């Protein structure tokens, strides 16, 4: 490794040490000064270490010498992860690759990792705060309506579930979706164990796995699925197009009704393969406040006009841009294809955000623009 490479690696190591310390604090708190400092340092490292990203930044005249605020750091659209290997380390150092969902003929986006330390520290900090309040350290039984690690080794969602199971779940915790089929007998036995022991059951799975569960005649109108007090459910994206579409509020109500839970016990997770952090509904943390997504302190969520890229007014709908410091080995600034808006409390303070839906054609358009810029810059020899 060259002297410059050694210096770059040293800079990244220092950033990661501080981030890990932040993520593993007993109650990580927002710190805007800390975020700005780390984000600008990380941008400088990623500009030097990721040639495709550097080409994009140069073409926009947004180099580290020209950027003074986080909002000026160029985000990469999620679609670009299908076209480029956005990696800040040698290929030989790769330890894990997460891939977006898709068919065998689709080009799938990839997140390359040379360490899982930050990724897992970030997800556990958020899960313990937003999904497991009152259950941390109690080793509740967990059931996952999703494929296990053997079936989905490149799924970031399955890796998240497995990390949660190992860190906080009981030995009985397991996956109840195998070979594309729900094992209702195993799930029913887990619900019965939880009721008999009067211990909460933790259930997590893809949204459409829950749709399949709800649509199965064997699960309708039956006390077998009632869960004890303190149980909670997490649903998240997956299986798009394989079943009927259900509005999220309707799905939440149906899940709560089938399990005999309050709707506040059913939380949605917002995340994507290209990110190292996830976002959860607030209802288990703040049951009296408005339902919204909470952002970990090492992330910043913005809402921008799709055409100009400028921030919209607080509370207005815009395209979601996420700056995630957990993405040290890739690109920290990500432009999603989703629309959202900030949520404020009665005093006007921003306390979270809401995801409205996807902007039609946004991913393809954003990817096309970024791809053209990166390739053109490469042809002109402005970076390598």
Q: How many folded domains does the chain comprise?
A: 2
User: Do 265 and 128 fall within a single domain?
Assistant: yes
Average of per-residue pLDDT values in the chain: 90
**CB pairs under 8 A, 24+ apart, for 280-286?**
280/126, 280/127, 280/130, 280/131, 280/234, 281/130, 282/130, 282/351, 282/352, 284/130, 284/131, 284/133, 284/232, 285/129, 285/130, 285/133
- What gap in Å lies between CA 304 and CA 308, rounded to an integer? 8
Per-residue model confidence (pLDDT) at position 382: 40
Residue 291 belongs to some domain of the structure:
no
- One domain, residues 141 and 176: yes
CA-nearest of 42, 47, 65 to 57 is: 47
What string of DSSP letters covers 123-156?
A: HHHHHHHHT-TTTTTS--EEEEES--TTT-TT-H
- Indicate whether 236 pLDDT > 60: yes
* The pTM of the whole model exceeds 0.85: yes
Q: Is residue 99 part of a domain?
A: yes
At 247, is the pLDDT very low, low, confident or very high (cuts 50, 70, 90)?
Answer: confident
Q: How does pLDDT run across 320-343, given as a tens digit for each residue?
A: 999 999 999 999 999 999 999 999
**How many Cα atoms within 13 Å fall on the side-chain side of residue 94?**
14
- Which of the four pLDDT bands, split at 50, 70 and 90, describes residue 18? very high
CA-to-CA distance for 339 and 343, rounded, in angstroms? 13
Is the CB of residue 302 less than 8 Å from the CB of residue 166?
no
Furthest CA-CA distance within the chain: 69
Is the pLDDT at 3 greater than 60? The verdict is no
CB 144 within 8 A of CB 157: no
- Does residue 366 carry a pLDDT above 70? no
Same domain, 200 and 344: no
Which secondary structure element, helix H or strand E, spans residue 304, and what is its range?
strand 299-304
Residues 172 and 136 in one domain: yes
Tell me the residue range of the domain where 180 lies. 118-285
pLDDT of residue 241: 44
Residues 246 and 342 in one domain: no
Regarding whether 225 and 363 lie in a shared domain, the answer is: no
Q: Are residues 156 and 229 in the same domain?
A: yes
Q: Which of 285, 320, 340 is the last residue of a domain?
A: 285
Of the three residues 285, 310, 337, the one that is the final residue of a domain is: 285
Mean pLDDT of 151-179: 96
Same domain (yes/no): 280, 305:
no
- pLDDT above 70 for 154: yes
77 & 100 share domain? yes
Q: How confident is residue 68, by pLDDT bands cut at 50, 70 and 90? A: very high
Whether residue 384 is contained in a domain is answered as no
Strand partners, 12: none
| Final residue belonging to a domain, choices 285, 312, 337 | 285
Distance CA 66, CA 312 (A): 23
Q: What is the CA radius of gyration of the chain?
A: 21
Let me know whether 159 and 179 are in one domain. yes
3-state secondary structure of 293: strand
* 161 and 67 co-located in one domain: no
Main-chain dihedrals φ then ψ at residue 37, nearest 5 degrees: -60, -45
**What span, in angstroms and rounded, lies between the C-alpha atoms of 328 and 113?**
9
| Predicted local distance difference test score (pLDDT) of residue 185 | 95
């Amino acid at each position: 490794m060259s002297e410059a490479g050694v210096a770059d690696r040293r800079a990244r190591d220092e950033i990661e040490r501080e981030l890990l310390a932040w993520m593993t604090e007993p109650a990580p708190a927002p710190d805007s000064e800390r975020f700005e400092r780390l984000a600008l340092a990380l941008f400088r490292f990623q500009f030097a270490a990721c040639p495709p990203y550097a080409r994009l930044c140069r073409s926009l005249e947004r180099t580290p010498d020209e950027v003074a605020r986080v909002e000026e750091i160029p985000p990469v659209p999620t679609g670009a992860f299908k076209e480029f290997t956005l990696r800040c380390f040698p290929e030989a150092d790769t330890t894990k690759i997460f891939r977006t969902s898709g068919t065998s003929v689709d080009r799938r986006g990839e997140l390359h990792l040379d360490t899982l330390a930050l990724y897992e520290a970030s997800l556990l900090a958020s899960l313990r705060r937003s999904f497991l309040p009152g259950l941390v350290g109690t080793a509740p039984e967990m059931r996952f309506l999703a494929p296990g690690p053997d079936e989905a080794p490149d799924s970031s969602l399955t890796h998240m579930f497995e990390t949660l199971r190992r860190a906080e779940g009981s030995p009985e915790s397991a996956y109840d979706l195998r070979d594309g089929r729900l094992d209702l007998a195993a799930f029913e036995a887990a619900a019965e164990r939880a009721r008999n022991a009067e211990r909460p059951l933790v259930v997590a799975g893809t949204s459409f796995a829950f749709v399949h569960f709800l649509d199965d005649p064997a699960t309708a109108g039956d006390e077998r699925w009632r869960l004890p007090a303190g149980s909670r459910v997490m649903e998240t994206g997956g299986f798009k197009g394989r079943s009927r579409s259900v509005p999220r509020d309707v799905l939440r109500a149906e899940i709560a009704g089938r399990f005999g839970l309050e709707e506040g016990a059913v939380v949605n997770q917002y995340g994507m393969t290209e990110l190292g952090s996830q976002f959860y509904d607030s209802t288990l943390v703040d049951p009296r406040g408005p339902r919204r997504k909470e952002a970990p302190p090492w992330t910043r969520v913005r809402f921008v006009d799709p055409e100009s890229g400028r921030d919209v007014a607080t509370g207005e709908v815009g395209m979601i841009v996420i700056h995630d410091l957990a993405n040290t080995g890739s690109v920290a600034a990500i432009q999603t294809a989703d629309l959202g808006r900030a949520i404020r409390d009665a005093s006007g303070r921003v306390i979270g955000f809401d995801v409205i839906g996807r902007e039609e054609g946004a991913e393809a358009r954003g990817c096309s623009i970024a791809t053209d810029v990166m390739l053109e810059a490469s042809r002109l020899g402005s970076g390598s």
